[in-house]
Amino acid sequence: MAKALRYFSEELLDDDRPLYGVYKVLEAICHAVGGWGKLAQLVNKPEKYVSDVRETTQLTRHARTQARQLLSDQECYACARILIDVFAKSISLSR
């Protein structure tokens, strides 16, 4: 799992891909760690850091949301990379 997340972080986030895929990965990580607040704790960031990424990535979802673009796409990808990398390292260390 950690290897797959690192690959996603290095390859997919470098490409010009929709943010929806980023949202789905972050959603899976969120469930794995026990919630969006726990994800923020894991990366030692305020909850707003995670919620801004989450809201920005929701703009491309097919479902209707009240999401707003709080970060540029580049900022969103950079923050997502941090979230994914820290999670990947945390599961590598726990093995």
What the block records as the tokens of 13 is 């986030």
Query: Percentage of the chain with pLDDT > 70?
Result: 68
Q: pLDDT category, 41, cuts 50, 70, 90?
A: very high
What the block records as the tokens of 24 is 């789905």
- d(CA 48, CA 52) in angstroms, rounded, equals 6
Mean pLDDT, the chain, rounded, equals 79
Cβ atoms within 10 A of the Cβ of 81, count? 17
The predicted-structure confidence for 59-90, as pLDDT tens digits, reads as follows 665 556 676 777 888 888 889 889 988 998 88
The residue that leads in pLDDT, 61 or 57, is: 57
Q: Are 49 and 34 in contact (CB under 8 A)?
A: no
Q: pLDDT category, 19, cuts 50, 70, 90?
A: confident
Q: Which pTM does this prediction carry?
A: 0.73
Is 80 exceeded by the pLDDT of residue 53?
yes
